[in-house]
Chain A
């Protein structure tokens, strides 16, 4: 079954606050306000690729940006500005394997809880069906961000 792309690579910057060279997602393929899914192809030019593999930091940032994409997509649908977010803490991080250059990784993030001004998410990263990494994160979302001018 063909994957439905909600936000293409050409438009991904419209829903996330990150900018090149620190963009770790290509496409948003699912978003329902609670869960979001992205894909990204690991390329040699990625600043978090070392020795032919996307590093642990790259996987963590990929999970965070998938969360950002979900929040950003919903904000865009409502005509609201895209918020910036900050990783407050990472918990229960497990890395099983690092993806190699050329691999396309699929990342799924779920908003587990909203406590005060902190959003708790869980994220998993897969490649060709194999689990590469998983973790929980506490993310602060700054809702006072002004619209990004492009």
Chain B
């Protein structure tokens, strides 16, 4: 899957799951603030990642994710690894 396709897929499911307009999901925007995530929302986020990209998320994975770009990079890196295996 191309990186652009991954970003498009991420934005699409974030928009659906968190009922937010895709236009506010810009790479530098803060993921937590923009999506108004609480601790239970992170569980939903993990569910959609694991069901859409077929890799296992670990709790510590979120520590370095601040912006949407961080999130895209994280999913791209893990999706690429998954495709290579």
Contact = CB atoms under 8 A, between A and B. Distances in A.
Chain B contact residues, majority secondary structure: helix
A138 B19 CA distance: 19
Interface residues of A, number: 8
A120 B47 contact: yes
B73 to A, nearest CB: 22
A144 B59 CA distance: 20
A113 B40 contact: no
A33 interface: no
B40 A88 contact: yes
Interface string A86-122: 0011000000000000000000000001011010100
B7 interface: no
Contacts of A113: 47, 50
Interface string B2-39: 00000000000000000000000000000000000000
Contacts of B46: 115-116
B43 interface: yes
Contacts of B50: 113
